[in-house]
Chains A and B, each alone.
Chain A
Amino acid sequence: MPDPHRAPAPAPPADAPGPAAPAAPAGPTSDPAGRDPSDPDPPDTGPPPARPVLPAPRDPPEAPAPAEAPGRPEADGLGRGSGRADVRRLVRVQLRIALGTAAFVLAVTAAIPVLPALAPGGPRPFGLPPAWLLPVAGVQPLWVLAALAHLRRAERAERDHPRPAGRP
């Protein structure tokens, strides 16, 4: 196995631009000048700055990152206007779904400290106080449902998203 510690692809997170890289990342992660002594270290670490050694995606087919896939010119930042508008539309739809979920979460959260005051008495199943039951049995299930509902809506939005040209 040829020296697995040396990651062959040094900076997978930087969206390794395709064959033509018209808009190179502004912050190249592998600087050829080697170690730059003037570059101050982050205060919390000792060692000199470096290219990220990790992680090396070992299975390229796993990472079908839109920006890398050839034949998808809209993803390279200078793509056709239609592709870009397309992405914007998807982002807007997803953002609307996410904000809806967040609004629900924040509304329930805002009501939380007030709720027990509204229900001072009430039933005591197993002799347990309602202040215990309300959070455990009343609110937690709401989060579970909210999560599942969000998952469904987000996945549907992606399914309904029209595939850009040049893509199956």
Chain B
Amino acid sequence: MTAPAAPAALTALALVLALTAALGAHGRRSARTASDFLVASQGVSPWWNATAIASEYISAAAYLGTAGLVLAYGTGTLWLPIGATAGYVLLLAFVTAPLRRSGAYTISDFAEWRLGSRAVRRAVTCCACFAGWFYLLPQFQGAGVTLRVLTGAPVWTGWAVIVVVAAGLVASGGMRGITAVQAVQFWVKLLAVAVPAVALLAFWHADGGDASAADRPVRFERTTRVHVETGVAVDVPAAVTVTATGRLDGVRRHAAAVPLAPGRHTVGGGAEIVFPAGAAVPHAARLPAPADGTRATPFCRPGGHGLYTTYSTLIGVLLGTMGLPHILMRFYTSTNGRTARRTAAIVPGLLALFYVFPALYGTLGRLYTPELLMTGDIDATILLLPLRAVPGAPGAVLTGIVAAGAFAAFISTSCGIVVAIAGTVTQRMRHRDGVAAFRLGVVAALAAPLAVLPAIGPRDSADLVVTALCVSACSLCPLLVLGIWWRGLTAPGALAGLATGGGLAVAAGLTRLAAGPGTGWTGALLAQPSLVVAPAAFAVMIAVSLLTRRRVPRRTDGAMARLHLPEPAAAP
């Protein structure tokens, strides 16, 4: 079924890998010392650095997940990319320039320097690692889906690609290589998503397209044969008679007409089901539809507690963006606080540009690839759409272009996170050569998500990435904001806040990974705890700091001066 896409996808993968290797090798020549490995020696210009930052942020979740969300839940979920861009505005307003002036490389460094406490440092390291690990999961997941959908390879091949590329690149070229890789890959991703989008839109218009379908419940436009690769439970919205081959509701069929009543049905792996034109698309049970059955209402994330979930997700994304370890680390490569701030001011523009396109795929996906709702592979929307809308060679070429962007997306983000985790962990190591310790850190960064992945089964990348952002929103963001702006913050206050916020967010994330999406208020709270936990973390930090007022570090005034006074070299 997907055979025509395989050569195009493999060519794209080879090209992206070659580009990555070439840029990485270029970086390797100059990366000699451990600090070169980590920070590219602080000579990166605002535009270059901003492109790299935007690139690190456009992960598999943004690239594949946004379109998938729009397919599954309608354009209401577009508010997620919006929250991400807004998060960078807050990052610019509260964090970048002071953080760069502190001279801290990681958030752990910042915490230890600001509060003079190794315990706080340890807590921060812990939170940063969890945020990074949660963030790596969707990258692996996206890589697996991409290779599986396009070439039919098992999911672990995608994971292997990430491990090999990230380990190789990070261990050889370090951050200097990565800055170049990231910056170039931003443009790769932008073109890869924009060119096919424009082409598809043109084709669809030539087809006499009607976008009003995008706001309706999803239906099969024509008789559709759905191949279910792995067994799935689906909810059928309206009675329909299908032709089934394979296991359906526990009974093996062979090209038999089967009436399906509304409600839950199970489809075995390898089954093929033919739906008549006009039938409403069943949806995978793990993508619960809102109660009204439509999937295009404004606040339509699943769970039924729409408004809470929407706001909580938005807050999580907004605040979480402020504390992402791999993004913050990038600002260290700016020359000083002023250039760091200019860098941050460019990023929202780049992200806004990128986010014009993924939603288009989701909207068109509702017309061309509705069966993904049933198989649950909503992350594959953007990958399958070109061939579905434009059969033949042009479709294959467009698929190749889109695939190149997808590969670039998870490679660049994974490398950034791996550097961030390894850098944070490395600084805890003693008696070891810096570079060797850094390489060990890389192994630690990759090992944790790999251990979890086989156990969690298929998930949507957007869901996973929101979990990571939530951890960061509930722990690292309060610490940064209060540490930078409030001289009253004390080490015990920070510790208490990190333990409350980070602990609860990580616990919620792990519970959800283990137990899957829940229902009712418990489910909504577990899925999106940010709206409750992030303010709680702020409150605990402030309250405990006030209670331990005497323990405000004596050098706080000096620290505040260093954070906020502009660099003297204003006019060179």
Contacts and interface: CB of A to CB of B under 8 A. Distances in A.
Nearest to B32: A4
B172 interface: no
A59 B336 CA distance: 12
Given A27-B116, A45-B444, A147 B344 contact: yes
B146 to A, nearest CB: 24
Contacts of B118: 27, 39, 49
Given A47-B440, A65-B562, A113-B298, A105 B569 contact: no
B346 to A, nearest CB: 8
Contacts of B565: 66, 75, 87, 90, 161
Interface string B120-132: 0110011001100
Contact of A113 (B205, B311, B561): B311
B157 interface: no
B90 A101 contact: yes
B110 interface: yes
A92 B79 CA distance: 32
Contacts of B426: 53-54
B558 A135 contact: no
A113 B434 contact: no
Interface in A27-49: 27, 29, 35, 39-49
B105 A126 contact: no
A135 B430 contact: no
A50 B427 contact: yes
Contacts of B130: 44
Given A53-B437, A131-B298, A139 B429 contact: no
A131 B34 contact: no
A75 to B, nearest CB: 4
A15 B561 CA distance: 11
A146 B90 CA distance: 10
Given A27-B117, A102-B90, A168-B568, A140 B338 contact: no
Contact of B356 (A25, A127, A136): A136
Given A5-B435, A77-B558, A91-B560, A143 B348 contact: yes
Interface string B27-42: 0000011110011011
A127 B211 contact: yes
Point out which of B78, B105, B440 has the most chain A C-beta atoms below 10 A from its C-beta: B78
Interface stretch (B1-9, B91-99, B251-259): B91-99
A75 B558 contact: yes
Contacts of B569: 64
Contacts of A14: 112-113
Contact of A147 (B33, B349, B441, B448): B349
Per DSSP, are chain B's interface residues mostly helix, strand or loop, or mixed?
Answer: helix
Interface in A66-111: 66-67, 69, 74-77, 79, 83-84, 87-88, 90-91, 94-95, 97-98, 101-102, 105, 108-110
Contacts of A29: 112
A77 B428 contact: no
The residue in B79, B101, B444 that gathers the most chain A C-beta atoms within 10 A of its C-beta is: B79
Interface in B404-451: 423, 425-435, 437, 440-441, 444, 448
B523 to A, nearest CB: 19
A96 to B, nearest CB: 11
A92 to B, nearest CB: 10
Contact of B34 (A15, A23, A54, A116): A54
A91 B485 contact: yes
Interface residues of A, number: 97
Contacts of A67: 558-559, 561-562
Contacts of B488: none
B79 to A, nearest CB: 5
B567 A112 contact: no
B377 interface: no
A157 B458 CA distance: 50
B555 A23 contact: yes
A7 B435 CA distance: 11
A165 interface: no
A144 interface: yes
Contacts of A123: none
B537 interface: no
A55 B38 contact: yes
Contacts of A117: 298
Interface string B71-112: 000111011011101101110111001000111110001101
A106 B214 CA distance: 29
A7 B437 CA distance: 13
Contacts of A55: 34-35, 38-39, 105, 332
B345 A151 contact: yes
Contacts of A49: 118, 122, 428, 430
Interface of A: 1, 4-7, 12-15, 23-27, 29, 35, 39-59, 62-67, 69, 74-77, 79, 83-84, 87-88, 90-91, 94-95, 97-98, 101-102, 105, 108-110, 112-117, 124, 126-129, 131-132, 135-136, 139-141, 143-144, 146-148, 150-151, 154-155, 158-159, 161, 167-168
25 contacts: A15-B559, A26-B117, A27-B121, A35-B430, A42-B126, A44-B125, A44-B126, A45-B129, A45-B428, A47-B425, A47-B429, A77-B554, A77-B559, A87-B561, A95-B485, A113-B311, A116-B298, A128-B360, A129-B363, A131-B76, A135-B78, A136-B355, A143-B86, A158-B566, A161-B565
